Every structure is written in structure tokens, then in C-alpha cells.
Amino acid sequence: MRYLHIENARLIDPAQQLDKVCDIYVAGGRIAAIGHKPASGEIEESIDANGQWLGPGFIDLGAHLADPGYPQKGSIDSETRAACASGFTHVCSLPDTKPVADSSAVIQQILEKSAKAGFASVQPLGAVTQGLAGEQLANMYGLHEAGCVALSNARTPFKDSYVLRRAMEYAATYDIPLFLQPDDVSLSAGGCMHDGPVATRMGLSGISATAETIALAQILLMTEQTGARVHISQISCARSLKMLGNAKDNGINVTADTPLANLVYTEESVQGFNSLFNVQPPLRSEADRQALLAAVNAGELAISSNHRPHEIAAKKAPFADAEAGMSMFDSFLPLALQLVEKGELSLSALINAVSNRPAAILGMEQSLKEESWFNAALIDPQAVRSVSKSSLYSKGKNSPLNNQDVKGSVSAVFVDGRRVF
């Protein structure tokens, strides 16, 4: 047997309580040995990873890949390559494509494009309703059978509570996970940033935290009623965390994630009407950011990218009219490491939130242990690089780190033992 040998790496995997410098051997796509040489076989390739971290690959619970349908914004090839640049091995793609990912044919197209690209593996989220219109349920069972890891209506609303309840009852019957984003559009429509003092000072329409919490309350009550397996996507405020904690205390088994941008930035970033910071959910107060960080450090919350690439023109409009979203894949790792360097997030909490916890939510195995598939990222935490629009792998040039020098770079990414980056 022939092995890939990675030596002198700092292996970090909170799920295995692993944090030590040692060697790892990989053969046949799986981890053959950790910390000792296999009894037989020879080394085919050796990588000296002195000073670098090796951890389980990151798993993104929600990204807009813009493919099919929006070639000016991105493609599965460009965006999954950009995902690898921050250590992602798997990416859940949201269904707001064109055509909408509400049929097995579209799901098959996405999976084929992912396999052809050969970078991070796309895990499709199918649409809960036909055309994401929020009225008629899509063929939920058929989408699940076609390869969807879960179903989502992205950030588009359901027509009414009855449609949502029907979807949750159907999902519960067939044990299909639902990824739901809490947003009461009757309260958020027309808003473009957090409803707070900054919005008032700048004369911009705000989106109150209540738009999130009212929708979340409805989801939690229906989860309790139907028994559906629900993941709450992209929460942004402290009140939502309290509601989730109360729900768990009452036996409602839900999981949740928050976008990385909401851990790094606040409403203050909008000063100067910088449209790069027009995102959904909006960047909220410093108190909300601190509460979200505390939840991640406590292991209660996963981190998603909420990656949404845009062409330059999409962000040239005035702030309120610019298309919402950040191109996050190229920026994800350096932004996350900034939180670690500042002491706001522990390294083990970060890896848990972007790898171990998402894997558990999706029912995947993603860990550094012998006989497991080798899905991993090799990271040089001290490497310094310059970010510019020309250096981005993503077609989306709306990165918050443009024209900055950042620390942290991915040396290699492995998916099922195959080096893809």
C-alpha cells in the first residue's frame, strides 16, 4: 500500500480532543494512521507541514453559488474553488438559482457540475416550494432522493403559516431536514440595514430584530407541533439566541448557525454608505455580535459563510438599492483567524463551528481519526498575502478585504483523500 505522508503538522480536531504535532498517513482516501507509521507499505508522497495546522475540512451550511442562471456573478467551478481557498471541503448550495433548484433535473445538473469542477463538494439544498414562490410544495421527497441534503426556501417567504406547517409535516413524515431562515417580510420589507441609531443617523430604512424573532417564534412552535428536523439558518441577534435556548430547554431539538460577517462586523461598518456591507440578515449591534460570539465559543452555534458573489455593477448603486450580499469564500479564513488572534474566538471553537458541528447537523462524518475519509485542510496561519479583486478566486468581487494584507492561507485541501487545492 502506498501512502500520503503529512509530517510535523499540528493536528486539531475538537471532536476527537486532538491538538498535537504529529504525522498522519493516508491511503485509499482514508486515514491509515495518526502519530505512528503503518506496519507495512511505502510512502508515495510526503508533505512537510512544519508550523502549519491540519484540521477537518470546513463545511458551509449556506452559500449562494449563482449557478445555474447567473454567470456574471459566479459558477460552481469558480465558487467551489474559492471555497477551497478558505479550507472548505463541502458547501451547501442554496436553491435560489435560475431555474430554481426545485426539481431533480436541476439537482442533477448541480451535482454533475460539482463533480466536473473537482473542488469543494456541493451539497444541494432543494427548494421547499415550487419556484420558491411560497405557495405549492415542491416534490420534497423526490428532491431528497435526488441528492439534496436538506430543503430550504432560502430567504423567500412562505405565503402563509399553513404552507409552512404542511411543509414541516411532510418533512417530518419522511425525515427530511429543513433549513429555515427566520424573516417576517411584513417587518423587513424595504429595509436595508439594522434598525438602530446608525440607520436613523444615516436616514436609511431599518430592519428590526423583531422581524427575525417573530418568524423564529413561529418556526419553533411549529417544530414542536410537527416534530420536523429543523435547522435555523443565519440568525443575527441576541434575542434569537435566548429563544433557541428556551426551546431546547423545552425539548425542541433545533440547531442554528450565524453568518461569519455578523461575528466580525456591526452596523457601524455601514458608515460612509459602503454597499459592501449591505447584507441579509443585516449587520446588527455590538451587543448582538458579542452574544453570537459567546454562543459560538460555547459550542451552541455553527458558522456559515452566507457567501453571495456579485459583479461590480451590482454594488455600484446607492446603498439602499445595491444588491445585498458579500463574496465571503476568499475572505472567510483570514476573517475567522482575525477573531482568533483578537481573542474573541478560540481556535477549537472556530473549528468546531465550521467543521464538527456542521457535520453533525448534516449527519456526515468529518473528523481526524483512523479509518475515516480524509476530508481536511492544511492551513498556514502565519502566511501573509494581499487581497485584491484580481487575486480573488470567486467571480464575485464584493469582498470586504479588498486591498488589504491578511494573515492565514490554505496550503492544501483534501476531499475523500484526493488533493483538490
Q: What is the mean pLDDT of residues 76-80?
A: 98
* β-pair partners for 258: 303
Q: Could you tell me the three cell numbers for 375?
A: 476530508
pLDDT tens, residue by residue, 144-167: 999 999 999 999 999 999 999 999
* Residues with Cβ within 8 Å of residue 321, at least 6 apart in sequence: none
Q: Report the pLDDT value the prediction gives residue 372, as an integer from 0 to 100.
A: 97
Residue 6: left if φ>0, alpha if ψ -120 to 50, beta else—which one?
beta
Q: Is 141 within 8 Å of 174 (Cβ atoms)?
A: yes
Q: Is 164 within 8 Å of 222 (Cβ atoms)?
A: yes
**Where residue 314 falls among pLDDT bands split at 50, 70, 90?**
very high
Strand ranges across the sheet with 230-232: 58-63, 88-93, 121-127, 150-152, 178-180, 230-232, 254-259, 302-304
Q: Is 358 within 8 Å of 302 (Cβ atoms)?
A: yes
- Alpha-carbon distances, residue 208 vs 8, 267, 326 (angstroms): 49, 12, 21
Q: Where are the domains of the chain?
A: 2-53+371-386+405-419, 57-362
Give me the helix-helix angle, 210-226 and 161-174, nearest 10°. Answer: 40
For residues 211 and 208, what is the distance between their CA atoms, to the nearest angstrom? Answer: 6
Q: Is 303 within 8 Å of 336 (Cβ atoms)?
A: yes
CATH number of 2-53+371-386+405-419: 2.30.40.10
Q: How many CA atoms lie within 13 A of 191 on its CB side?
A: 26
Q: Report the pLDDT value the prediction gives residue 87, as an integer from 0 to 100.
A: 98
pLDDT tens, residue by residue, 368-399: 999 999 999 999 999 999 999 999 999 999 99
Dihedral sign, CA of 154, 159, 161, 166?
negative
Question: 57-362, which class in CATH?
Answer: alpha beta
Q: Report the pLDDT value the prediction gives residue 276, as an integer from 0 to 100.
A: 95
Average pLDDT, the chain: 97
pTM above 0.95, yes or no: yes
For residues 391 and 343, what is the distance between their CA atoms, to the nearest angstrom? Answer: 28
Look at residues 375, 296, 331 and name the one whose alpha carbon lies nearest to residue 83.
Answer: 331
Q: Could you tell me the three cell numbers for 3?
A: 501512502
Q: Report the pLDDT value the prediction gives residue 18, as an integer from 0 to 100.
A: 97
